[in-house]
Amino acid sequence: MTPLMVTGTGTGVGKTIVTAAVAALGRRAGQRVAVVKPAQTGVGPDEAGDVAEVVRLAGLDQPDGHELARYAAALAPAAAARLAGVSGPALDEVVSTVDELATDHDLVLVEGAGGLLVRFDASGWTLADLAVRLHAPTLVVAAAGLGTLNHAALTAEALRTRRVRLAGVVVGCWPVPPAEPDLAERSNLDDLADVTGALLVGVLPAGMSALTPGAFAAAAAAGLAPGLGGTFDAADFRAVHGLRARKGTR
């Protein structure tokens, strides 16, 4: 089965939560799910990384999580590998791992590091290159606030230049009460689909990492669109939270 890439407009935008949410809904639908992280940075040898978080939140079996390289420095993978005096994961090796997993899993999710064009080793390969090699659609996780439109548009343009199909855009961390979305967040909700040319296929609430696996799956279902296994409707969400709707124009 064709894998699904999960990239972000930058670091800290919610890629791991979105990956876990898609995995949780796949598992709930009875799919055999595997998750791959080509390189984890910024964690020590005994610390839980992003793959462990996805496995925990999605309720996956531990063997279904695959972290292919780990570096202690909180840097881009290529830089962290160079600092550690080792080679980063080779593109061919990652392609081989994902292809092998795809033979006996219904859904293989590949979570990137930072943004789309972050380099993984000295050769300079990126998640975009991996998507091209695997012919894999790519889900873009965006921040909610100021600056996200430019970052999202650039990410979408980079994918289209390489003829990689955009699987949609997900807002990875939406304010929840007592916090309220600010002016930029409400406006961006209206504009993300326009600037990327991709559907808004999810908005996930802040704080999901604190949920139990059952509650996490329920929140994932409410926050992701039917194509990802949920019930989210972008038009309905914008009608309540979008700036244009509040001004009475949508």
| Residues known to be catalytic | 37
The amino acid occupying position 158 is A
SS3 content of the chain, % helix, strand, coil (to 5): 45, 20, 35
Torsion of CA 52, 95, 74, 107, to 10 degrees: -30
Q: What is the rounded CA–CA span in Å between residue 118 and residue 24? A: 26
Contact 225, 199 (CB under 8 A): yes
Of 150, 167, 148, residue with least CA distance to 14: 148
